[in-house]
Amino acid sequence: MKIHGLQKMTLLDYPSKVAATVFLGSCDFRCPFCHNFELVDGTAAPIMDDAELFSFLDKRKGLLDGVVITGGEPCLNSSLKDLIIRIKDMGYLVKLDTNGNHPDVLKDLLSENLVDYIAMDVKNSPEKYSDTCGVKIDTEIISESINLIMNSGVDYEFRTTAIKEFHTAEDFAKIGEWICGAKAYYIQQFTERDTVPDKSLSSPSAEDMEAYRQAAERYIKNVILRGL
């Protein structure tokens, strides 16, 4: 397996844990606000293979609690399950980041207790999903992943990157209704970067973000703003 990025230590990516973050390449979405688009379009060359990754993780035993697997979209990688099994066999917790478009993969991993935490992106309200993702999306598939995660018994969070041009408070009310009763929902403020595909996108104001939070809070008790 080719590893396209490695953050050797993070206190942010895995709640309450010290972790390393592993970036896998490729994604089936084309979100115009993606901060890791070089992983999506293939312009980011691999930095190591799995043997080098496991050598690194072996040296970090006792220093790291877990490993975050992100992308891109990790569930596209046919070797994901084997990668997770080897990481778990080393004694690490595993957090998986996903776009929710592969419930079959999630179901398989959850059935074998291979993930300890899942973070799933909920890109927008169902009506605006395809426009936000840049490709045609079947939101029934997204709903399947939401239901799997919420009923899995595994710790999890849902999250949305809020972009001024894509989101309104009404959208966040609809998202809240979609994931009603979720354990945790994070609304992340989009930050403008040269690396995102669409340079015209902008960050919502602090007032916008608070309106988004209040809209989602009608359905979810634990709504947290990130990025302010």
**pLDDT tens readout for residues 27-38:** 999 999 998 888
pLDDT at 194: 64
Element (H, E) at 49: strand 48-49
**Structure tokens belonging to residue 87:** 């990481």
Residue 156 and residue 183 in contact, taking contact as beta carbons nearer than 8 Å: yes
Angle value at C-alpha 37, between 201 and 31, nearest 5 degrees: 50
The pLDDT value given to residue 192: 81
Q: Longest Cα pair distance anywhere in the chain, in angstroms?
A: 48
Q: What is the mean pLDDT of residues 84-88?
A: 98
Nearest alpha carbon to residue 98 among 112, 84, 85: 84
pLDDT band at 118 (very low <50, low <70, confident <90, very high): very high
Cis peptide before 72 (omega within 30 of 0): yes
Place of tokens 């890109």: 123
pLDDT value of residue 35? 87
Residue appearing with tokens 């004694």: 91
Token couple for 139: 């939101």
What distance in Å separates the CA atoms of residue 75 and residue 94, rounded to the nearest whole number? 14
pLDDT mean across residues, the chain: 95
CA distance 42 to 201: 22
For residue 228, pLDDT beyond 80: no
- Asked if the 2-226 domain carries CATH number 3.10.20.30, the reply is no
Domain ranges of the chain: 2-226
Question: How much is the pLDDT for 64?
Answer: 97
Q: What's the mean pLDDT in 164-185?
A: 97
| Contact criterion met (CB below 8 Å) for 164 and 208 | yes
**pLDDT (average), residues 146-157:** 97
Residue 128 binned pLDDT confidence (cut-offs 50, 70, 90)? very high
Q: Are strands 19-23 and 66-70 parallel, antiparallel or unpaired?
A: parallel
Asked if the model's pLDDT at residue 153 lies above 90, the reply is yes
Question: For the chain, what percent of residues have pLDDT higher than 90?
Answer: 87
pLDDT band at 199 (very low <50, low <70, confident <90, very high): confident
**Rounded CA gap, 42 and 26, in Å?**
7
pTM confidence score = 0.95
